[in-house]
Structure 1
Amino acid sequence: MEYIQRKTLLYKTEVEYGDYTLNHIQGCSHGCLYPCYAYMMARRFGRAKSIEEWMEPKLVSNAIELLKKEIPKYKDKINSVHLCFTTDPFMYGYDEICNSSIEIIKLLNTNDIPCTALTKGILPKELDCTDKINSYGITLISLNESYRKKNEMNSAPYLERVNSLKYLHDKGFNTWVSIEPYPTPNILEQNFDDILNAICFVDKIIFGRLNYNKKVSEYKNYQDFYNNLVEKVIEYCEKTNKKYHIKDGTYKK
């Protein structure tokens, strides 16, 4: 594991459903090829020269030190802190990263700051010792393992993600799933209801389309396809008393 240091950590996010966030890792081993927006931005701004470099994550060694300095400054402004928008806090197969994320969450909780976390890895069982003010989620865009191995090559198997989320749900934590970026049928033919059934226990669903992929625009009536799925998500969540968020640009008339 390579280490880097940073001068700052906490910052206000521009993501429409976020508040404050931090990214205590640079890069991500999962190697998502949708393409990955985080990698696209890293390459644009010179933080990674290639996907191979991006897939060799670097852990911020002074994250706790920075947090102890920044929490008093931002505490009264923060509603919650999200881990993470440009990397994965529970990167599959990286115990050091997972342990660092848990330490960060516990420090924020000690200061009465709730955390949200999203992963394509496995949510560690050790999270059951964190505060119930936290909310934990997984990304799940399919149940097709062949698709995962091709497009999220080093991420956790889909059902292992679901099972780790269900464990925390059963321990009393608020849980959620991000069904994004969801592929069009010319990329992957699948039954959307199967995904909903697999995550029927969660408290919230976020849904978003696949962007930056020309195959989407090649699919006839792709906007109708996404509009129909948005309506299905809303109907399902209202029927089952779940919260939901539809990502900007997914639904258009």
Structure 2
Amino acid sequence: MNPKSIIKGRGAQLNVHNRFFELSHEMRDDFLEYCQKEGEQVDKNKTQYLEVFPKTIVNKVKSPDVGMAYSMNAYQGCEHGCIYCYARNTHEFWGYSAGLDFERRILVKKDAAKLLEAQLKKKSWKAYPIVMSGNTDCYQPAEQKFRITRQCLEVFLKYKHPVGIITKNSRILDDLDILKDLAKDNLIGVNISITSLSEETRRVLEPRTTTIKKRLETVKVLSDNGIPVNVMIAPIIPSINSHEILLMAKAASDSGALSIAHTIVRLNGAIGEVFSDWIKKAMPDRAEKVLHQIESCHGGQLNDSRYGTRMRGEGKIAEQINNLIKLARQQYFKDKGMPKLNCDLHEPYKAGQLKLF
């Protein structure tokens, strides 16, 4: 990628049209040329934090493919800037673009902990693991400022309720004290995402994420403290990280992970345009090859919404990837597995403390 042609520290290199808007915004070449001649800054590339006020925080997950029944997200949008992120499309529902807006306009739910507490106190609520970061990373840079994830973990601990976490940020270790307390009652499971062992690949795919070294160290620290960790080798992108599957699995196992999971990249909705634009700038020598191989995994399309096949793909390349994952599990995780979280403790704690009678 030509350093002069990119927006530093961002994955997406443009704002794509929001499908819900009739009008579109275009950055014309003549305007860019004028700004350059006048010495004016076209784009300040700053992150904005915007507070929103949802009425609820726990979402029922209807998809049969994702392995969770309930999720919650303290933030919408994610500054990590992962170019392949499936959550980009959800930013359109908030009136923003799935491109740069997703990384630079972060919606903050400051009342998340209060909303969570209200949900867990409902008489009708039956304990079932709630996954933080079902959409966007709960330990993205915004967490350092707002600490909403920590507040929510304190609620889970108070009510003895099981919780799962998905993240690719070592900042999770800031809450090691709470995680250890949750682990004492088997109330926590952590999923760490590792997409490559190459820092060069990591930097272009996930520009504002924790380094791979720190992620593996995070897996080890969590595991050493009795907190079960699953490593998400996801997404697998043909000809970008598909050759690293066995190496990533071994590194995860050596660091103490109890299992691995994976998906094959799919580029639904606006993500297809964002990713295609990015790869033609970042990896022009293999852009068409990668795009065609992704299409071959999804019936000839970048977009794949079919339950049962969208996460695992189909065709020869997808079969090779899935077979490598099976081999990795047999070789490095044969006698390992994530424990089932404890859903039996919550009911007596609905009032915030253990009932005496």
- The alpha-carbon distance between structure 1 residues 238 and 154, as it changes in their structure 2 partners (threshold 3 A), is closer
Among 207, 215, 236, which residue is 2:331 paired with? Answer: 236
Residue deviations 1:39-70 (CA, integer Å, cap 9, x gap): 02332x34422422211222111112212222
| 1:100 is aligned to 2:151 | no
- The alpha-carbon distance between structure 1 residues 66 and 227, as it changes in their structure 2 partners (threshold 3 A), is closer
* 1:12–1:21 CA contact under 8 A, matched in 2: yes
- The alpha-carbon distance between structure 1 residues 67 and 160, as it changes in their structure 2 partners (threshold 3 A), is same
In structure 2, the residue corresponding to 1:77 is in which secondary structure? coil
- The alpha-carbon distance between structure 1 residues 170 and 38, as it changes in their structure 2 partners (threshold 3 A), is same
Moved over 6 A (4+): none
- The alpha-carbon distance between structure 1 residues 41 and 134, as it changes in their structure 2 partners (threshold 3 A), is same
| 1:146 is aligned to 2:196 | no
In structure 1, the residue corresponding to 2:121 is in which secondary structure? helix
- What corresponds to 1:217 in structure 2? 295
Among 175, 179, 183, which residue is 1:127 paired with? Answer: 175
- What corresponds to 1:172 in structure 2? 226
Amino acid at match of 2:244: N
- What corresponds to 1:17 in structure 2? 67
| 1:196 is aligned to 2:249 | yes
Taking the aligned partners of 1:33 and 1:238, their CA distance within structure 2 comes to 29
| 1:73 is aligned to 2:122 | yes
Taking the aligned partners of 1:159 and 1:206, their CA distance within structure 2 comes to 19
In structure 1, the residue corresponding to 2:243 is in which secondary structure? coil
- Point out the structure with the larger strand share: 1
| 1:41 is aligned to 2:94 | no
Residue 167 (structure 1) shift? 0.7
- The alpha-carbon distance between structure 1 residues 47 and 119, as it changes in their structure 2 partners (threshold 3 A), is farther
Residue 124 (structure 1) shift? 2.9
In structure 1, the residue corresponding to 2:235 is in which secondary structure? strand
Taking the aligned partners of 1:105 and 1:148, their CA distance within structure 2 comes to 29
Amino acid at match of 1:217: E
Taking the aligned partners of 2:260 and 2:210, their CA distance within structure 1 comes to 20
* 1:31–1:51 CA contact under 8 A, matched in 2: no
Taking the aligned partners of 2:80 and 2:223, their CA distance within structure 1 comes to 25
Identity %: 20
Among 147, 169, 183, which residue is 2:237 paired with? Answer: 183
Among 261, 266, 271, which residue is 1:206 paired with? Answer: 261
- Unpaired runs of 5+ residues, structure 1, are 245-253
Q: Cα RMSD over matched residues?
A: 2.4
In structure 2, the residue corresponding to 1:124 is in which secondary structure? helix
Among 133, 138, 153, which residue is 1:89 paired with? Answer: 138
Residue 92 (structure 1) shift? 4.0
- The alpha-carbon distance between structure 1 residues 107 and 222, as it changes in their structure 2 partners (threshold 3 A), is same
In structure 2, the residue corresponding to 1:202 is in which secondary structure? coil
Q: Which of 106-115 and 224-233 deviates more?
A: 224-233
